[in-house]
Amino acid sequence: MCRNCAELNYASQQKSGMDKKRLKMERIIERELGYTWWRRDYPDTPIQDLWHIPKPPYMRWKKYERIMKEFRQLQKDYEREFWVGLSKICYAKDIAEMAIRQLDRLRK
């Protein structure tokens, strides 16, 4: 049986939009801003919750502000996607509970 017949996919195909956003935020922080020690400075803070990111001394303010604007937009998109996903889960849970109650009523 092949992967198509078994409806299997590769690990790289399982990445969600949230994973891609998180990885892009890490790239911006570590490569573009050179802030590689954020994990040491904020060990319990996930990247999407980082707020203060220092400007590198060699970078012009205009470029720093442009990069930070992109980072903040990614944070907003990540948070929106998180809440949409959570609401879908809660909605599905509510529907499942309603279906179970309905089945219980029918069984009585």
State how far the alpha carbon of 83 is from the alpha carbons of 21, 50, 95, 104, in Å.
15, 18, 18, 31
Residue 95 has what pLDDT? 72
Residue 63 has what pLDDT? 94
Rounded to the nearest 5 percent, the helix, strand and coil shares of the chain are 70, 0, 30
Angstrom distance (rounded) from CA 96 to CA 45: 34
* Positions in the chain short of pLDDT 70: 7, 11-16, 103, 107-108
Helical spans, DSSP H, in 28-60? 38-41
pTM across the whole model: 0.67
Residue 50 has what pLDDT? 79
Angstrom distance (rounded) from CA 101 to CA 95: 10
Residue 13 has what pLDDT? 66
Residue 51 has what pLDDT? 78
Helical spans, DSSP H, in the chain? 17-27, 38-41, 61-107
Residue 37 has what pLDDT? 80
> pLDDT tens-digit profile of 13-42?
666 677 888 888 888 888 888 888 877 887
